[in-house]
Every structure is written in C-alpha cells, then in structure tokens.
Structure 1
Amino acid sequence: MERAMRLLLIEDDRKMAEAVAAALAESGHQVDIVGDGAEGFDRALNGRYDVVVIDRMLPGMDGLAVVAGLRDRDIKVPVLLLTALGSVSDRVAGLRGGADDYLVKPFSMVELEARVEALGRRSSGLSDALLTVGTLALDRMQRRVWRGDKLVHLQPREYQLLEMLMQNAPAVVTRMMLLEQIWRFRFDPGTNLVESHVSRLRTKIDRGGDPPLIHTIKGEGYAVRAG
C-alpha cells in the first residue's frame, strides 16, 4: 500500500481540480487545491508538500513561472506539470524549466496517480540499493537479479524495465511511463515494443513453476507483485 502524501494541486479549472483531488484522496492522499498561480506559488513555498501538481496555464502566474520560481529558491519538491500543450518542444520546455514530470491533457486518473506516487517515492528516498519483491531480488549496485537462489541473466533493456517495475512495486507502471523512462519516447510509437520486452522478461523471471510476479493490469499497465 502506498504511503499517504500531502499534495498541492494548482489548477484553475474547478471541475478538473475536484476530479483530480477526489482520485488522489481515494488513494489516501491529502490534497490542497489552489486555483491561482501566484497563490499556489506562495503555498508551495511555505507549505511542506510531498508533490506539487501544477497546471501549465494559470491565472496570476503561469505554471512554468511557478516551477522556475520554486527552483530559483532551491525548493526541491517534486513537480508534475499538467499541460494541454502536447508538442515535444512544449514538453521539453516544462522539463528544462524544472518540472520533474509532465502529463498531457486529457489524461487518465490511473496514470496521474501512478506518476504522482512515483514522484513521491523518489523524493522520500525509497530507492534502496537492493530491491526485493517476494523471492525476486535486484541489486542496483552490481546490476544483478536473482529469483530465489538462481541468478537471472537479463539484457540491458530488460534490466531497466524490471528495475522500474520493482522500484514502483506494488503500484502500476503505465505503458507510457515505460516508453518515456526507458526508451525516451515522448509519444506512443504505436508498436508492441513494451509488450514484447515484458513478455521476454516474464519468460526469465516467472519460469520454473514459481508463482508469477509480473502482472498485466488490464487497461492500466504493469506491476510486480507477490501473491
């Protein structure tokens, strides 16, 4: 189960803000909503938040300006930028401006929750050198993987894929998150790239009669879970 986080949502569309807040609250998180960029900037400066979710287009102060202002003041809180601007240049501008991740509208609430929770884990220091799920272990220092007492030999992409799934376990990692983080795609290429790598990874991790650990969550993505 994910740890409960305190989140700040800076979004001027009230219906959108309420829907996002409701989805995040359903997962146990506390969400403060602000509808103005300048007020949101002040709250982010003076409040202790685990993650800040910021809309790109805001009254009072633009979303990119809010992010830049936080970074200028050495506020390192993770920021997820919401944007209706889907071009590569717009996304790059957001990331270079100090955002840690971005999500293009319209988006699924499942993906929003997954990205927020991934940012929260990253900021909390939950990035241990040894990752374990059930009988599966991944040593990030040596880049080696075991299932029980058997060493599992993985190709570089397979290792990256498993590492990302285990780092986020037991939460779901969406297909788009994998494309972005592992293959550096800023768009969906419309191929079975992810599916084929997950399939090959399964043959190596879940073989030998052991209970399966790599799960496909229909309509959402993938997760490593024991039991």
Structure 2
Amino acid sequence: MHILIIEDEKKTSAFLRKGLAESGYIVDATENGDEGLLLALHINYDLIILDVMLPSRDGWSILATLRQAGKQMPVLFLTARDDVQDRVKGLELGADDYLIKPFAFSELLARVRLLLRRAPARHSETLKIADMEIEFARQKATRSGRRLDLTSKEFALLSLLMRRAGEVLSRTLIAEQVWDINFDSDTNVIDVAIRRLRSKVDDPFEKKLINTVRGVGYVFETR
C-alpha cells in the first residue's frame, strides 16, 4: 500500500515515515501543502495522512480540492486542532478519520489499517507471483506454502520488489523507499539486505525470483 504524508513538523513526519515503512507500507512525504496536493492529484495513493496547518496551502483546501477532483482515497487528518468544530469541518469536507496530536503510533496504525480495509481495493490485501505470496495486513510471506521468517525491513523490501515486479529498482530508490535515507554509494547496506532476503526467499528453492541487473539494481521476476 502506498501512503502519502503531508505534514510540516519534521520530527512527526520522520517518525511516521519510519513507523509506516517498518509496517510494510511504501511512504512518500512532503512538508508543503501545494506539493502535497500536486502529488495527491497525480499519484494514486491508497491513503493520505494530512495535517491542517501547512505552508502555502492548508489541509482543508487540499482535501476539498481532492474531493472536487473526484479523488476518493481515504484521508486521515492528523492535527493539534482539537475543537469539535474543526473535527466536524474535516468530516464534512470528506475526511475519513480525525486523530489529535499528540498520538500513539499504535492507534494511528490501527486506524490506517481500518481505513485501508474499508476503502475500495485498488490492490488486493494479498499479492501472489509464481509460488511467492505476501499478505500485507498480517506481514506474512510464504513461498510454496512455506512461511518465511522475515524482519519488518525484509518484509518491506520484499513488498517493494513484488509490487514493482518486472521493474529494475536502483539501490537509491530502494534506500529511499525502505530505509528513508539518501543512498551512499560507498556503503553496501542495500546489497547486504538483498543478500539476506535472498537467503530466505531464494536459496532454499530452485527457482530464483530476486535477480541482479549489474550496474543498475535489482528486479523481482520469474525467468
């Protein structure tokens, strides 16, 4: 599932990105209202986490514009504005939920999962390619019916590769999507992570699914 965070508090945004990525989601984030609206209009996100007070354009305006444009992805307002009138305004504009800061990440994650289950599915909660299957909500991965013991990062990495099966993913893109870091070409963190994932996904099986494109990156495909 692909989630957009529009939040101008850097610490909150980084905290959300890290927690959601570790829970198996692909996450984009921006601190600017105009940029957030542009992203939301042109990318089919599964859910948006939206602050109210933002630079250049507030959350009310972003939500109203999205709904007027026919965008029906779930929107969760995450804001310090706790007046009843603010909550009512958000819901009347078309928000699906409203969470007040400060918040517990466990509660936010539960609300995210609930909203994604309720939403019309653009992606199945499970994804199967060849004999490899993952269940996103349960963070469960199996191959040939055998459950794989993956860490949260390994599951996020496998999810990214499978969602974009057939597409060669660069080390930079993988680092940004899974670790939320700028990739340093002098480090081998991505190669090490891929090697560990392969030891569980590919090594016990005859057919290999995670392939290297020399000098470019990695691709999940059935050859």
Q: How does 1:88-99 map to 2 (within 5 A)?
A: 88-99=84-95
Q: State the match for 2:2 in structure 1.
A: 6
Deviations 1:130-152 (A, max 9, x none): xxxxxxxxxxxxxxxxxxxxxxx
State the secondary structure of the residue aligned to 2:64. Answer: helix
Shift of 1:123: 1.1
In the aligned structure 2, how far is the partner of 1:89 from the partner of 1:106?
19
* Cα deviation, residue 124, structure 1: 3.5
Moved over 2 A (4+): none
Which amino acid in 2 is paired with 1:99?
Answer: A
State the partner residue of 1:61.
57
Displacement after TM superposition at 1:10 (Å) = 0.4
- Alignment map for 1:1-227 (pairs within 5 Å): 5-125=1-121
- Structure 1: 5+ residue stretches without partners: 127-168, 172-227
Q: How far has the Cα of 1:76 moved from its partner?
A: 0.5
CA RMSD between the two structures? 1.8
Note the C-alpha offset of 1:170.
7.3
Q: Report the TM-score when normalising by structure 2.
A: 0.54
Q: How many residues align?
A: 125
Q: Equivalents in 2 of 1:38, 1:23: separation in Å?
A: 25
How far residue 14 of structure 1 moved from its aligned partner, in angstroms, is 0.9
* TM-score between both structures, scaled by the size of structure 1: 0.53
Distance in 2 between residues matched to 1:125 and 1:43, nearest whole Å = 20
Secondary structure of the corresponding residue to residue 112 of structure 1: helix
Which runs of 5 or more structure 2 residues have no equivalent in the other structure?
123-136, 140-223
Specify the SS of the correspondent of 1:116.
helix
Residue identity opposite 2:118 in structure 1:
R
Task: Give the aligned residue type for 2:107.
Answer: E
Q: Tell me, in whole angstroms, the C-alpha distance in 2 between the residues paired with 1:170 and 1:24.
A: 14
Shift of 1:88: 1.1
